[in-house]
Structure 1
Amino acid sequence: MSLIPLSLTAFELDVALAPWLASVFYLGLLIGATSIERVVAKIGHRLAFILFLGLLIASVMTQLLIPSAEFWLAARFIAGIAVAGVFVVVESWLLMASTPKARAKRLGIYMTSLYGGSAVGQLAIDPLGTTGAAPYLFVIALLFLAILAPLLITSGQPESQHQQKLPLKEIKSLSRPAMLGCLASGLLLGPIYGLMPMYIANQPEQAEHTGTLMASIILGGMLVQPLVSYLSTRIGKSLLMAMFCLIGAAAVLGIVQASSFVPLVISYLVLGACSFALYPIAITLACDLLPMAKIVSATEVMLLSYSVGSVLGPVLAANLSDATDGVVFYLGGCLITTCIYMLIKSMENIRTGDTPIAG
């Protein structure tokens, strides 16, 4: 994700393409999120996992072989659909546990692994560079390694015939804080992945540390996951999301005001922790009271909410402000707005006597 905007110049593509590449990826994610449940129900989790990873590999190969704006936009759209499939398959599989505590634990381990891999990926930017075929071949090789697990391990997947589609009436009754939490997560993470590498690279005092600072953001997302898993069964989930949003807004101020490298790294780390904490809290909130047969469909709806935010986020962040720190201020605005909403919902829950797990 960070490699793509940084490699545009090397492939003789306009840097103005960056926000559109991010948005079209998330548009694919959005469209993919509306149809994954049918694929999983028909062929099962394991084969669906293989299919979507194969599609993702093909999209990266297309970018490498045909460096033109039109083909890159098409490839990123296909990649979005493929990643939607991977997310729904993996997350619904892991969320098929019998208790909210087990679900939170599984999702915490998954998110830690996901963001840990992403952080290591950011650190690969400096040694691999952003020019030529090498970084893209490295990505392709990693995806081929990922596909080995479902190819070699054929047992343990849920039974596909037990999946049920959520009717519109039940979708409307899903937790609104959960859906808004996923939407806010997309509004934050879309620009973080799509625009933040360029923002950092354009700051004179930060440019030489682009890979390190991006890794700090995602490392924060990884390190916070055990804490999210621990707190999500002990504190109301709406209040928990409000707390992370408030701390994230403070981190935005830290980025703008930092006068040395160490406070800057810490601010990016905290911003990443708070931004990446929202999605797992929201998705477990949505699934807490659902039977396992409806988990795939609910995961699909949550990913749809996330995708809407991810489509809008990069374009909004790129166009709302021409200021040097426009992207960072946009993130701060999203965090404060979400914090206020979640605090209001949390107070409503306290007044109605909802349990912490219900959020």
Structure 2
Amino acid sequence: MSRLTPAQTHPSRRTLLGGGLGLLTLALGACSSRDTVAAGGAAPASGTASSTGFTVTDMRGQTISFDAPVQRIATTVIPSPSMIAAVDGGYDRIVGINESTLQANRQGLFGEIFPESRSTTTISPSSFTPNIETITELAPDVVFQWADQGDGLVEPLENAGFKTVCLLYGTQEYLETWVHLFAAILGKPERGTEITGWMHTELKRLRSELAAAAPVRVVHLGQSGEGYSASNKASYMHFWMELAGGRNMAADNVSAENTVSAEQLIEWDPEVITLGGFDARTPADVYADGALASVSAVRNKRVYKAPLGGYRWEVPCAESPLMWQWAAELYHPELTSHTLRNTMREKISYLYNYDVSEAQVDAALRLEMNRGSRGYEVFEAQP
């Protein structure tokens, strides 16, 4: 719809940081408003800082010092740009991204909110290998890279002299660490506290609403060749499936690349199937798969494509509480308050400084794609 001016944004709501974050602290020095941030369980670094300098400890335990505020950010990490923009309230500091991120920006709501994100320079393919020549031309103040995908991804950046902050991925704790680490680097620690405060509030609410719910048999499927892959208990998807009142039937699926056969899906007999956003498979495709005709979710038309908001909701992102609520409303429609559309408008406005239209909410929720599935009318705009 339209970007909001600062005077139009919703007022800040200071929220105390609750439990579940792991070890990330901000230490204030006597001569600095920003000094040291430790992330991912590392001990805070020692030292002093100028009025604009600060130090962070990244998620591999390395300390990185900055002499001035960060203004130019490059990142190979696919989901990080939307989170950086959410923490910053804008996209202006992002100068380089992953090719996979660029494709997502061109498909969904994020590219409508920030049109410049559709043409941002790419600094790596989906394999995360950094293009040092391109990064050199962009001259970023910081580069974000994975902490656990091998030194071959990090060493070229550090050897070229770039300040490299490394990240770990896949849990709610790591997600909250990202939020606070980005907030520290962007000079907006209170913003990080507000976002994780919202997450803690939603965790508490859903656990309370669903405390007496009998778990629903569920799986979250991706594509593996012509077949399926199923998210196991090592995935972030497992976290929100259980939070939303589901029993992840693929929790112990440890096959190569998490592939799963039709025979296994028939044995598990999930009552609800959700589909990931990294491939083109739709509920209609699953309904048309004769091999799955006897599966409860297929017989009862309870197969749903996960939303694509500012980013793909099923993986850790700034909008993750919206995914939790979406899943809860699908798994337990009789127990949950169907307020997702209103929550989306409020939170997207807060996170990205942008007022979404009803049509944009429809597209993010994939109403057309999911309309043939049972109960999805609860996400329709009310007359």
TM-score by length of 1: 0.29
The structure with the larger Rg is 2
TM-score by length of 2: 0.28
Larger RCO of the pair (alpha carbons < 8 Å, separation 6+): 1
Higher helix share: 1
Higher strand share: 2
